[in-house]
């Protein structure tokens, strides 16, 4: 292997036919080509002889046989994870999530880190919804803080974070969702007191506290778990929501779900072949 272009990691690989481990080499070539990592062509005789001399004690026997070279010039676009959440109170978790996902090889869109794609001809709300549409994977974090809406003059409309979740559900995005323990507990408590669902909670008024600042957080949670009367529990798909109490809990879930990058990519290929959320081959990462 010879380095060709250090900043981009391009290199040239010499495959010697019929000399070193023929069957194993064949399998390696097959896997690399199938993975679409390489472009291949015939190596010039002088180049083959020069490189083969460095790889073998008998360069002459290698140089006299055909060689192929494979140039790893295709930079596959990264999978993009959109992280949807409010920020207050979970800054440490968001920092940890960003570090984990980028270390695994993902491109992370997160407003807290300033990595969201933003266009100046769009509103904040439009940029957020467009990011949901364009991402490959959706990670939602439901906290006790509901967040603000797109229009301060209409305080009763769903928050931007809530509308991001609804958009991800509508677009059937591959999604992973965390919900803070306070949210899960509050919903369970109110349900046991016979204040079930949006209708049951409609008459309640909540004084904002750090524990829960808006009852609509429970609406957001119920949307995430697909709590609908017209859908049987056994038929609800994509309704897994993981409860977390602290940064360690949340980080453990994210690490467990995302650290096998290739498995996540294969999952998308197998389950979203129609209208696949995978980035186009050759596109920008």
> Who contacts 134 (Cβ-Cβ below 8 Å, separation ≥6)?
80, 117
Integer Rg of the chain from CA: 25
Which pLDDT value is given to residue 259? Answer: 93
- Fold for 80-271, please state it: Rossmann fold (3.40.50)
Q: Where are the domains of the chain?
A: 2-71, 80-271
Q: Please give the Cα distance from 51 to 157 (Å, whole number).
A: 66
Which pLDDT value is given to residue 144? Answer: 96
Does pTM surpass 0.75?
no
Which pLDDT value is given to residue 266? Answer: 87
Which pLDDT value is given to residue 129? Answer: 96
Which pLDDT value is given to residue 39? Answer: 54
> Residues in the chain with pLDDT < 70?
1-75, 150, 228-236, 273-285
- Residue range 211-225, pLDDT digits in tens: 999 999 999 999 999
């Amino acid at each position: 292997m010879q380095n060709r272009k250090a900043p981009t990691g391009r290199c040239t690989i010499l495959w010697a036919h019929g000399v070193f481990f023929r069957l194993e080499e064949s399998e390696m070539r097959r896997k690399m080509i199938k993975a679409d990592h390489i472009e291949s062509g015939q190596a010039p005789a002088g180049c083959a002889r020069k490189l083969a001399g460095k790889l073998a004690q008998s360069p002459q026997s290698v140089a006299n046989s055909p060689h192929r070279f494979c140039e790893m010039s295709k930079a596959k676009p990264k999978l993009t994870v959109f992280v949807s959440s409010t920020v207050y109170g979970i800054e440490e978790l968001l920092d940890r999530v960003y570090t984990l996902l980028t270390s695994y090889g993902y491109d992370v869109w997160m407003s807290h880190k300033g990595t969201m794609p933003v266009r100046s001809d769009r509103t904040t709300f439009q940029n957020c919804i467009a990011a949901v549409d364009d991402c490959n994977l959706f990670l939602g974090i439901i906290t006790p803080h509901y967040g603000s809406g797109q229009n301060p003059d209409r305080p009763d409309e769903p928050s931007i974070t809530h509308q991001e979740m609804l958009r991800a559900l509508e677009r059937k995005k591959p999604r992973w969702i965390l919900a803070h323990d306070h949210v899960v507990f509050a919903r369970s408590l109110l349900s046991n007191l016979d204040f079930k669902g949006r209708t049951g909670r409609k008459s309640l008024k909540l004084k904002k506290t750090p524990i829960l600042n808006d009852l609509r957080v429970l609406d957001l949670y119920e949307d995430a778990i697909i709590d609908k009367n017209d859908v049987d529990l056994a038929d609800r798909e994509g309704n897994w929501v993981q409860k977390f109490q602290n940064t360690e809990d949340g980080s453990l879930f994210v690490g467990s779900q995302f650290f096998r990058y290739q498995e996540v990519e294969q999952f998308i290929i197998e389950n979203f072949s129609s209208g696949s959320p995978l980035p186009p081959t050759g596109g920008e990462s």
